[in-house]
């Protein structure tokens, strides 16, 4: 694959906003013009915001939200700010830089750091996190939502992981068989179709569904209630549940799935024009039902 520079002419400022309301930190993705598509710049800004919330003793609970009509359309596969060939300092892993590396080394290293590594790091944040979701929550958007402890969805929210269309067996943070039953995970992936907020709640993937115009207030109210509990007990409780999920196989399943994911990228690179089988944001959106 080519290593053409993708650095935008004008770097975007404030891809993530950080605000605080009492004991609640609110981290908001802020690329609404691109449906909050995540480039590396945004991922690192998210990480900096989560770290800030973790280090602030006044903060008890963290809310993750998206500015605009949509939570997140996924990883950036086509905006002017796409930056997949750019290196940034490693935060989640100890891997070397991916820039200029050939073959699978490039994608494997980059996605370990920015996708799997970051989501795992955020899942382990020792304060409760709540994803507040409206509109699209697609592919890479799911990874952010699933890394959070609770998910509150607006009634207009919808969820999909359509990457099988790219020849890829699900997004890098492979929590599908844990976010829903294994049988439903297969349906969700095989079809790549949207499920709406009501269905997502029915299958246990989201905690609550609220009217769109009440989403921010309901999420904040819930966060404040949780924030009244003892800080250390919340951290221990979160750890206890996360440990249980890992004993059920979450972590090992993700590592195994990551190998298959990278096999698919390599296969795409061997048989098509790039590691995404020539798909981009436009072609992916076209077939989404
Ligand atoms: Zn990937």
What values do phi and psi take at 181, rounded to 5? -70, 155
Distance from the first to the final alpha carbon of the chain: 30
Decide: helix, strand or coil at residue 137.
Answer: strand
The CA 173 to ligand 1 mean position distance, Å, reads 9
The CA 263 to ligand 1 mean position distance, Å, reads: 10
| pLDDT at res. 10 | 57
Q: For residue 289, report the distance from its CA to the centre of ligand 1, in Å.
A: 22
Q: How far is the CA of 172 from the centre of ligand 1 (A)?
A: 6
Q: How far apart are CA 202 and CA 208, in angstroms?
A: 10
3-class DSSP state for residue 33? helix
For ligand 1, the distance from its centroid to the CA atom of residue 231, given in whole angstroms, is 35
The mean pLDDT values, 10 residues at a time, for the chain of 289 residues are 48 87 98 93 95 97 98 90 87 93 94 97 98 97 98 98 96 98 98 97 98 98 98 98 98 98 97 91 82
State the pairing for strand pair 16-21/24-29: antiparallel
What is the reported pLDDT for 4? 46
DSSP lists the bridge partners of residue 133 as: 153
pTM for this entry: 0.94
Q: Indicate the CATH number for domain 12-212+237-285.
A: 3.90.226.10
The alpha carbon of 111 and the centre of ligand 1 are apart by a number of angstroms equal to 6
Domain extents in the chain: 12-212+237-285
Gap between the Cα atoms of 168 and 86, Å rounded: 23
Residue 55 C-alpha to ligand 1 middle, in angstroms?
31
Give me ligand 1 centre to Cα 171, in Å.
6
Q: CA-CA distance, 49 to 28, in Å (whole number)?
A: 9
**Spacing, Cα 101 to ligand 1 middle (Å):** 16
Which are the contacts of 233, defined by CB distance < 8 A and separation ≥ 6? none
Distance 220 CA to ligand 1 centre (A): 33
- Ramachandran angles phi, psi of 28, nearest 5°: -120, 120
CA 54 to ligand 1 center in whole angstroms = 28
Q: Which residues contact 186 (CB under 8 A, 6 or more apart)?
A: none
Q: What is the pLDDT of residue 3?
A: 43
Distance, CA of 37 to chain centre = 10
* 279 alpha carbon – ligand 1 mean position (Å): 13
pLDDT attached to residue 1:
39
Burial class (CB in 10 A: 0-12, 13-18, 19+), 250: buried
In terms of Cα–Cα distance, which of 44, 14, 37, 71 is closest to 216?
71
Q: What's residue 6's pLDDT?
A: 52
- Give the distance (Å) from ligand 1 centre to CA of residue 21: 35
Say how many Å lie between the CA of residue 261 and the centre of ligand 1. Answer: 6
Expressed in angstroms and rounded, the spacing between residue 112 Cα and the centre of ligand 1 is: 9
CA distance 260 to 282: 25
**Centroid of ligand 1 to alpha carbon of 46 (angstroms):** 19
Task: Say how many Å lie between the CA of residue 226 and the centre of ligand 1.
Answer: 34
Helices (H), the chain: 40-55, 103-111, 118-123, 140-147, 176-179, 182-191, 197-202, 215-227, 231-247, 250-271, 281-286
pLDDT at 76: 87
Length of the chain: 289
Q: Within the chain, what is the greatest distance between any pair of CA atoms?
A: 55
Q: What are phi and psi of 25, to 5 degrees?
A: -90, 135
């Amino acid at each position: 694959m080519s290593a053409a520079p993708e650095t935008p002419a004008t770097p975007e400022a404030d891809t993530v906003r950080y605000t605080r309301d009492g004991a609640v930190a609110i981290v908001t993705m802020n690329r609404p013009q691109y449906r909050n598509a995540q480039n590396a710049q945004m991922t690192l800004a998210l990480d900096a915001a989560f770290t800030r919330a973790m280090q602030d003793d006044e903060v008890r609970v963290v809310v993750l939200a998206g500015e605009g009509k949509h939570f997140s359309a996924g990883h950036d596969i086509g905006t002017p700010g796409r930056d997949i060939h750019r290196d940034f300092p490693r935060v989640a892993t100890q891997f070397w830089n991916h820039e200029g590396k050939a073959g699978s080394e490039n994608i494997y290293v980059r996605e370990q750091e920015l996708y799997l590594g970051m989501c795992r790091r955020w899942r382990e944040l020792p304060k409760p996190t709540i994803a507040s979701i409206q509109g699209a929550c697609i592919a890479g958007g799911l990874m952010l939502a699933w890394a959070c402890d609770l998910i509150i969805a607006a009634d207009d929210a919808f969820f999909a992981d359509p990457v099988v269309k790219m020849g890829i067996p699900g997004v890098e943070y492979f929590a599908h068989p844990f976010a829903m039953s294994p049988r439903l995970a297969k349906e969700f992936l095989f079809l790549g179709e949207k499920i709406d907020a009501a269905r997502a709640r029915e299958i246990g993937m989201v905690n609550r569904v609220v009217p769109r115009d009440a989403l921010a207030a309901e999420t904040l109210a819930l966060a404040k209630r949780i924030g009244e509990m003892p800080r250390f007990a919340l951290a221990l409780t979160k750890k206890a549940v996360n440990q249980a999920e890992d004993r059920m196989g979450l972590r090992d399943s993700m590592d195994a799935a990551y190998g298959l994911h990278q096999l698919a990228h390599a296969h795409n690179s061997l048989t098509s024009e790039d590691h995404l089988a020539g798909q981009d944001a436009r072609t992916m959106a076209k077939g989404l039902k």
